C-alpha cells in the first residue's frame, strides 16, 4: 500500500511540474530563427543573443534550400521569424515570392557594397550578411598518395584519377551545391556546364546533404577533394586538419550569405531587434569565435590578420538576380536531377 501511495505521489508531482512548467515557458519573449550557417556559429549566436537580451531563441539548422522550402510550406502560418545566413539565391527567391518583408537597417550605410547590392536586388527584403568564395579544397597527403598533381582548375576535377574522390553538396538540398551549378553555368554556358557535370558525376563519391559536410569528409579522409567554401576550409585548417584550398583558375563564384525577416512571423518586434543586432560589428565579430571566417558585411569589422581581404579578385561576376529567380532555379535543378544524377549517366 505504501508503494502505491508513493508512486501516486511521484506521478502527481511529475504532472504538476509539467502543468506549471508549460505556462511558465510561454511567458518569456521568444524568437524563432532558421540558421543556415555552420552550427557552431548558430549556437554561439543563440547563446550570445540570449545572454545579451534575455529573449528565448529557438534555432533550427537547415541548409539554405531546405530553409526556403520550409518557408514556402509554412506560408499560411509562419512559425519562423528570421532567416539567418545561407547563400543569397534562395533569399532572393523568398523575396520574390513575398515570403519576407522589406526592412532597411539603421546600419545600412556601414555595410560593404556587395551587401548593399544584395539588399537592393531583393527590394530590401534581404541584406548581405557575409560573403565567401567557393573553390576546391583538398587533402594534400591523399593527393600525393593518388599520384596526381594538386587540382587547380575546374577541369582538373574531371580527370579519371579522381574517380570517386570528389565530394560536393547536393544541389537539390544544399545552397552550396546550387551555387556550384550556377557558377559553372556562368563560366561554361548551360550546355557546357551540364556536360561538365555529367563527367564530374563519375568522380563524385557522394552528394552530401549540406555543403559543409563535403569538407568534413575530406578532413576525415573519406575523400580527397571537396568543392566548398574558403571559410569552411580555413575553419578546418584552424583545427589542425591537413587541408589545402585553391580558387579554381577559370574563376570562382562568391556567395553572399543573407539575412531576411520572415513575413507574418509571430514575433515581429523581436525579429527586428535581432536583425539589427546581427548586422552590428559586435555580432559579426562573434563569427570569428565560432571559427567562421567569412567576410563580414559590416565594413567596420576589421579583417582577420593573414587572410585575404574581401577584395573579390579572382571572383567571377555572378548574376545573382538571374540565378536567384525561381524559374531558372527550377529549370537548372530539374535538368540536373534528370540528366546528371540519373541512371543513364553512370
- Assess contact for 197 and 181: CB atoms under 8 A: yes
By CB under 8 A, the residues from 122 to 181 that bind another protein are 164, 170, 172-173
By CB under 8 A, the residues from 257 to 286 that bind another protein are none
Q: Which of 15, 17, 29, 47 binds another protein (CB under 8 A)?
A: 47
To another protein, the closest distance from the beta carbon of 309 in angstroms equals 28
221 binds another protein (CB under 8 A): yes
291 binds another protein (CB under 8 A): no
212 binds another protein (CB under 8 A): yes
Q: Which of 46, 91, 231, 320 binds another protein (CB under 8 A)?
A: 46
Residues 6+ apart with CB under 8 A from 258: 83, 85, 86, 87, 88, 91, 92, 118, 122, 126, 127, 128, 129
- The alpha carbon dihedral of 291, 295, 299, 303 has a sign of positive
- Assess contact for 302 and 284: CB atoms under 8 A: no
Cell numbers at 31, concatenated: 524568437
Q: Which of 220, 300, 321, 331 binds another protein (CB under 8 A)?
A: 220
Whose CA is closest to 345, among 201, 162, 181, 152?
201
Report the residue number, 34 or 278, with the smaller CB distance to another protein.
34
310 binds another protein (CB under 8 A): no
- Dist CA 296 CA 284 (whole Å): 6
Cα 123 to Cα 98, 101, 127, 220: the distances in Å are 11, 9, 9, 42
Report the residue number, 56 or 152, with the smaller CB distance to another protein.
56
- Dist CA 60 CA 267 (whole Å): 16
Q: Which of 208, 246, 258, 294 binds another protein (CB under 8 A)?
A: 208
Report the residue number, 306 or 344, with the smaller CB distance to another protein.
344
Show the beta-strand stretches assigned E in 71-140: 82-84, 100-101, 126-138
To another protein, the closest distance from the beta carbon of 247 in angstroms equals 22
- Assess contact for 181 and 341: CB atoms under 8 A: no
69 binds another protein (CB under 8 A): yes
Interface positions with another protein (CB under 8 A) = 3-4, 6-7, 10-11, 32-34, 38-39, 43, 46-47, 58-61, 65-66, 68-70, 72-77, 79-80, 93, 164, 170, 172-173, 204-210, 212-213, 215-217, 220-223, 239, 326, 329-330, 333-334, 337-338, 341-346
Amino acid at each position: 500500500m505504501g508503494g502505491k501511495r508513493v508512486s501516486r505521489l511521484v506521478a502527481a508531482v511529475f504532472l504538476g511540474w509539467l502543468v506549471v512548467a508549460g505556462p511558465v515557458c510561454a511567458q518569456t519573449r521568444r524568437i524563432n530563427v532558421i540558421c543556415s550557417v555552420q552550427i557552431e556559429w548558430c549556437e554561439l549566436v543563440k547563446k550570445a543573443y540570449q545572454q545579451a537580451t534575455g529573449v528565448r531563441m529557438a534555432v533550427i539548422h537547415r541548409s539554405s534550400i531546405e530553409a526556403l522550402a520550409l518557408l514556402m510550406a509554412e506560408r499560411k502560418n509562419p512559425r519562423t521569424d528570421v532567416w539567418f545566413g545561407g547563400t543569397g539565391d534562395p533569399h532572393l527567391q523568398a523575396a520574390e515570392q513575398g515570403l519576407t518583408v522589406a526592412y532597411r537597417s539603421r546600419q545600412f550605410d556601414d555595410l560593404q557594397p556587395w551587401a548593399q547590392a544584395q539588399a537592393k536586388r531583393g527590394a530590401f527584403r534581404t541584406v548581405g550578411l557575409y560573403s565567401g568564395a567557393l573553390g576546391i579544397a583538398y587533402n594534400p597527403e591523399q593527393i600525393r598518395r593518388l599520384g596526381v598533381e594538386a587540382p587547380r582548375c575546374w577541369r582538373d576535377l574531371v580527370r579519371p584519377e579522381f574517380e570517386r574522390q570528389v565530394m560536393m553538396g547536393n544541389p537539390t538540398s544544399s545552397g552550396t551545391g546550387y551555387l556550384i551549378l550556377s557558377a559553372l553555368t556562368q563560366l561554361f554556358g548551360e550546355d557546357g556546364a551540364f556536360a561538365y557535370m555529367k563527367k564530374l558525376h563519375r568522380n563524385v563519391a557522394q552528394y552530401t546533404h549540406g555543403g559543409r559536410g563535403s569538407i568534413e569528409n575530406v578532413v576525415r579522409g573519406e575523400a580527397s577533394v571537396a568543392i566548398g567554401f574558403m571559410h569552411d576550409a580555413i575553419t578546418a585548417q584552424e583545427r589542425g586538419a591537413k587541408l589545402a584550398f585553391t580558387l579554381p583558375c577559370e574563376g570562382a563564384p562568391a556567395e553572399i550569405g543573407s539575412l531576411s525577416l520572415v513575413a507574418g512571423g509571430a514575433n515581429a518586434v523581436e525579429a527586428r531587434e535581432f536583425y539589427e543586432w546581427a548586422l552590428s560589428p559586435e555580432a559579426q565579430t562573434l563569427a570569428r569565435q565560432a571559427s567562421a571566417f567569412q567576410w563580414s558585411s559590416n565594413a567596420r569589422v576589421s579583417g582577420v590578420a593573414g587572410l585575404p581581404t574581401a577584395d573579390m579578385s579572382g571572383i567571377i561576376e555572378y548574376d545573382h538576380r538571374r540565378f536567384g529567380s525561381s524559374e531558372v532555379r527550377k529549370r537548372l535543378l530539374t535538368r540536373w536531377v534528370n540528366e546528371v544524377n540519373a541512371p543513364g549517366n553512370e
